[in-house]
Amino acid sequence: MSTDASGRAGERPISLETDRVADAGAARSIALLCVLVLTASYVSVLYGITQVVGGSRALFAVVVVMLVGATVLARLIRPWTAAALALAAAGVGFAYYLTSAGVDPSVVIMAADTIVSDTVALATGLPILQMVQAGIWTLGFAPAPVFLSWYLAMRGRYGLGVVPGGAALGFLVLTGDAGTLVTVVGTLAAIGAVAAGELEHRGGSLRQADLLAALFALAVVLSLSVTVVPGQPAAPTHLSQGEPGTLEATLDTAPQRSGIAGEVDLSPAVRFTVESDQRSYWRTGVYDRFTGDGWVRTGRSSRYDGHLASPPSDVGTIEQTITPETELGVMPVAPQPIALEGDVTRRTTVSQHGQPRPDAPLSAGERYTVVSSVVDSDPAALRTAGTDYPDSVTDRYLQLPESTSSEFQARTAEITADAENPYETAVAIERHLESSKEYSLSVSKPDGNVAEEFTTEMEAGYCVYFATAMTQMLRAEGVPARYVTGYTSGEQVDDDTYVVRGLDAHAWVEVYFPEHGWVQFDPTPSDSRDAVHTDRLEQARDAGIENVDTDETDDEPSDPTGDESIDHSEPESNETPGPDDPNESTPAAQGNETNETPSDPATGTGGSDSANDGSLVTITRETAALGLVALVGLAAGARRTNAATRLRRVLGIYWHGRRRDPDRDAEHAFTRLERLLARQYRPRRRSESARAYLHALSIAADAGDATPIDTRTERVVDYYERATYGTGVSRTEADEAIAIVDDLARAQLPVLGRLR
């Protein structure tokens, strides 16, 4: 007997020790997995950037090398040595990418100043994609946190291990590059690594996972409660021109971005008037980096100091005075501006592409004057311009997303096969798009690369699609090009006066020619645009919308085709370049070429946009993920606190449930009564019988210490004792006991106590 007892006594500690070892091993595996997930969260952001600017293979190689190196060195070197190696790896990462991009190694040290300057700018809210050398910075950024995080994790220092990875993710949150889902996943992974590490070190059981899940959900809630990230300026949406959902708002999504949408709305409202001695497009934005589904303007803007860069050569100037007729978040100018005048210049910044923009919206009547240079666009001269492009042009305006398909490049090469120089290449692409694609407003934005999808799959689109495709096709052929937004010349109301409306918003292309500068090309078909422009304006006038006309245009018919447009195919032409279509219009949202969508007289916008009327709710992947995390957290918290059991016990006081056997019902009625009395008086002690418990409560009540007990409780106790120890009770007696407890419980409903 003693041997068996001692044997059994010896078995249990061995089993517990085995369980602890198994739990520790599982906890370590979970901690390491969480560190990998944290690493993947910020590396995925960097990967998305390199997919746009190039270098994703190099990034992947760097990450793999760092993980393997950290695994091998985890038990061979000390932490301080590992930190030094991580810094060295970061330097090697910068140098490697610089040299792989063709930069002389002797220049690498000189580039360090730019890298440091850009990093500081990123910490104050500059998204990485807006950096001119985003790829260089990204490749240099990855090695240190990847190596250190995995090195420390392999040594079991999980708390310290999440610090470099968490700092890397936090930095990307500051820049605005890390989205909500990535941030939440990385945060949860960091918490999971620390929590699992504690379980491993302290011998905790994995059965405590419900506590971890509840902590995860709490972390998500706390992270979402912080709506302002230090150093990241709030998006200046007031500087985005046009009402939400309009083409204007799409073209100028934000000061540094231009979006690409599907169906968009048009506003016929007058935006500004121009007094100019020549007709022109009025440019508002220049964008150089294509992400696949939108455009980004790289580089930081500088304060206007009275000087703007001039093109390599020109054939004259255009002077124009712009007067906003409503609040204007952009600064329209005729390309290429070389001087600005007016009070607004005191709060004007200029992008590295030479485009001015106001710091705050311009008010109605806040005039300013612009002098723009007219670039020589004589076809004969452009044909012989050559390809001796400045490095500043080729470094910035030949970018293609790394994932650009060979099919797109082959199709472009086929279209431009007969071109003998960049000018003929641009003309060939312009003519192809004008003749092969229909102009339509009823388009859906493709999921993939917009330029590729429009070139190879789509049959119709509007200016955004045409200009995007042409820019990328030119770049695929090695011709520097950039995407430009603004307005067409608008409605001419006098010899030198033009009224520009929201429906004149437009996108086109500028192509660089050595010794000339940037020359305008517009691949969007003009005829159908003109029809939409006229129809939309007449609809607005018929609807009596007040802000679609000025004193000069009121009751005057619109004439969108009354001026000549530039023809790049005429070699003998030496006229001052003008737009392909002076009064080009833009597509109306939720409609087609005839613009049949009914408009809203109050706003001048289409009336069928269900996405903006609040009737439909779109659930994004981020929302679904956050909802799942919240549900898991609530479930884990409920389990941890036994909330379900507590709730069931409370509800059981007030609801008896299904009635079956009379004896069991009598016993359950007493159980309910006992919980009710415990809530009102005190719980029954283990040594007390049911009748003794009731007698003790009655004595206390008679002594004035509590409310008198209802005498009907004695019948419930009597039925309980007979059902448990005696001959049983009848169905009638059991129902009576239930009814008594129901009545007593209902009397207590207004004064519910705390959950037990």
What does the pLDDT look like over 65-75, one tens digit per residue? 999 999 999 88
Q: Convert the pLDDT of each residue in 388-431 to its tens digit.
A: 999 999 999 999 999 899 999 999 999 999 999 999 999 999 99
Asked if 199 and 264 sit in the same domain, the reply is no
Asked if 175 and 260 sit in the same domain, the reply is no
CA distances to 149, 502, 607, 713 from 533, in Å: 58, 10, 18, 86
Residue 41 lies in a domain: yes
Transcribe 690-703 into DSSP letters. Answer: HHHHHHHHHHHHHT
Residue 430 lies in a domain: yes
| % of the chain surpassing 90 pLDDT | 35
Which of 209-213, 530-534, 747-751 has maximum average pLDDT? 530-534
Asked if 255 and 174 sit in the same domain, the reply is no
Residue 10 lies in a domain: no
Q: Convert the pLDDT of each residue in 77-101 to its tens digit.
A: 888 998 888 888 777 766 655 565 5
From 225, 251, 268, the end of a domain falls on 225
Average pLDDT over residues 125-132: 80
Residue 561 lies in a domain: no
Q: In which band, very low, low, confident or very high, does the pLDDT at 112 lie, cut at 50, 70 and 90?
A: low
Asked if 217 and 254 sit in the same domain, the reply is no
Contact 272, 328 (CB under 8 A): yes
Q: Are strands 497-501 and 505-513 parallel, antiparallel or unpaired?
A: unpaired
Secondary structure E strands in 584-694 = none
Q: Convert the pLDDT of each residue in 2-61 to its tens digit.
A: 444 444 444 445 454 555 555 567 778 888 999 999 999 999 999 999 999 888 888 899
CA distances to 320, 658, 662, 691, 717 from 735, in Å: 94, 12, 8, 20, 14
Asked if 446 and 297 sit in the same domain, the reply is yes
Query: Considering the entire predicted model, what is its pTM?
Result: 0.70
Q: Convert the pLDDT of each residue in 536-560 to its tens digit.
A: 888 888 888 778 877 777 655 544 4
pLDDT at 185: 87
CA distances to 4, 91, 102, 650 from 107, in Å: 80, 14, 11, 75
Contact 336, 372 (CB under 8 A): yes
Is the predicted pLDDT of residue 443 greater than 70, yes or no? yes
Domain count, the chain: 3
233 or 548: whose pLDDT is higher?
548
Average pLDDT over residues 89-117: 59
Asked if 103 and 31 sit in the same domain, the reply is yes
Asked if 435 and 475 sit in the same domain, the reply is yes
CA distances to 379, 508, 513, 521, 525 from 424, in Å: 9, 18, 12, 12, 19
534 or 170: whose pLDDT is higher?
170
Residue 627 lies in a domain: no
Asked if 421 and 345 sit in the same domain, the reply is yes
Asked if 183 and 246 sit in the same domain, the reply is no
Residue 1 lies in a domain: no
Phi, psi at 590, each rounded to 5°: 60, 30
Q: What is the CATH number of the domain that holds 459?
A: 3.10.620.30
Residue 164 Cα to chain centre, angstroms: 24
pLDDT at 235: 40
From 225, 247, 279, the end of a domain falls on 225
Asked if 300 and 348 sit in the same domain, the reply is yes
Residue 440 Cα to chain centre, angstroms: 28
What does the mean pLDDT of the chain come to? 78
pLDDT at 606: 39
Is the predicted pLDDT of residue 297 greater than 80, yes or no? yes
pLDDT at 580: 42
Is the predicted pLDDT of residue 324 greater than 90, yes or no? yes
Residue 233 lies in a domain: no
pLDDT at 600: 39
Is the predicted pLDDT of residue 368 greater than 90, yes or no? yes
Domain encompassing residue 197: 17-225
Q: Convert the pLDDT of each residue in 516-539 to its tens digit.
A: 999 999 999 988 777 777 788 888
Residue 640 lies in a domain: no
Q: In which band, very low, low, confident or very high, does the pLDDT at 457 lie, cut at 50, 70 and 90?
A: very high
